[in-house]
Structure 1
């Protein structure tokens, strides 16, 4: 995230947090890999991540999140970027037992602006299930200046007190995944995950199996191979 965006978030949070109806929270995590839509962003290496969120009781929220990344995934021979810094804002609410969330997220890569990407999203949840649709006019973080859709389907269930099992499947499609001849990646693909999480002494523990289908591996190579990711996290 650039300096201007950082300053903007800081000023907005400082001003808005003065309201008793607002809440600020933070999180930090250490993971054996940073997997995003089934693809390692750290070239199969560890990731240190963290962020802050400001949420108003009306449903409006704004937040920032960051993680180290591997430069080779984005630019091949460049030494940048080494960092992903995201800024997002949106509105979340409920209608009966149905939850919804509408927002926009900006993925920024300091030192390599060509990868910066903006997505809008709409997600919904009901009982144990969730679904989301994400759209970007230019999917620059995979090196393609074409539009793309991402559809996310998930389920989460507490199987025992304090122990939750979560499963997910995602579909990446759109012009960005059309034939290489037309400027795309050559194929759409699917990613999936299943994992278990719990908390001990106030620390979150998560073990998740993550992978993609053959099309994902054909597009991204070894960084899209199936793997198990372990994450330790803390919220405050």
Structure 2
């Protein structure tokens, strides 16, 4: 896809306030930090359950391009402080040293200042049952607001140097052979993103867009994974939600892609391919479908 054209399209679309995580719009499938619920007192409990055709985190499949089931729960106080958790099954590339589950702990503070809402906190990514040195922590900050019918959001997420993000392997061949090039290496990771959404009147549809930029190590970590496997890359997503009338269900259909080239993907294979046997990149563009029920 021509990136200049894509950027022009995104500039013309609203960037949305997410009902999901620190690094994506509602159309993305990243871990959520807030979910809709009607307040009933000083403490609000909300959550969701979702079925997805693929679990993509920043454009890269965490479920080996296979379906995923996810759940989230958030407990928020009217002071603005909240805690939450997110869980998803993993497979293939997403085994993260043997784990078949991602379980995140999230905490933060959200506060409105005039027309702008500030949301900042920390996500701890955990992979129960996986190998050592897989878990890592990442701080995030988001600004969101509205402009006419559009909802806009800009965010930054930063993970300080940690072994899980280090460049232990230079390429996928070393990772497949379990031959470390720099064991114990610690690297950081930066993610910048913008989200947008605009409701289509009288249709139940909400058009959405997301664009993000990752900067991290250009190799693979201790368990042949990485938050930014090619060092620096762009990811984007265009799609729409449909709120099913009279139900808590939301159907999403969108296109998700990255600018990770065939050559860059080959450099990381077989660890960066479906089935980890070289059968294509897990960052290729794809149509993504999801069905979410919120409470």
Q: Cα RMSD (Å) of the superposition?
A: 2.5
Q: 1:64 aligned to 2:91?
A: no
* Larger relative helix fraction: 1
Give CA deviations for 1:206-233 in whole Å, capped at 9, x if unaligned.
1111010035963545110000111011
Partner of 1:40: 61
Map residues 76-95 of structure 1 onto 2, 5 A cutoff.
80-95=98-113
- Superposition TM-score, scaled by structure 1 size: 0.82
Q: Which runs of 4+ in 1 moved over 6 A?
A: none
CA distance in 1, matches of 2:285, 2:163: 24
CA distance in 2, matches of 1:140, 1:168: 29
Partner of 1:166: 208
* Larger relative strand fraction: 1
Q: 134, 150, 156: which one pairs with 1:115?
A: 134
Partner of 1:31: 52
Q: 1:156 aligned to 2:203?
A: no
- Superposition TM-score, scaled by structure 2 size: 0.66
Structure 1 spans left out of the alignment, 5+ residues: 1-18
After superposition, the Cα gap between the structure-2 partners of 1:225 and 1:141, relative to the gap in structure 1 and judged at 3 Å, is farther
CA contact (8 A) 2:165 2:189 kept: no
Q: 112, 124, 140: which one pairs with 2:143?
A: 124
Structure 2 spans left out of the alignment, 5+ residues: 1-39, 168-185, 274-280
Aligned with 2:111: secondary structure?
Answer: strand
Partner of 1:207: 253
Partner of 1:12: none
Aligned with 1:26: secondary structure?
Answer: strand
After superposition, the Cα gap between the structure-2 partners of 1:230 and 1:148, relative to the gap in structure 1 and judged at 3 Å, is same
* Structure ranking higher on relative contact order (CA contacts 8 Å, 6+ apart): 2
CA distance in 1, matches of 2:90, 2:294: 22
Please say which of residues 183-192 and 96-105 is displaced more in the overlay. Answer: 183-192
Aligned with 2:133: secondary structure?
Answer: helix
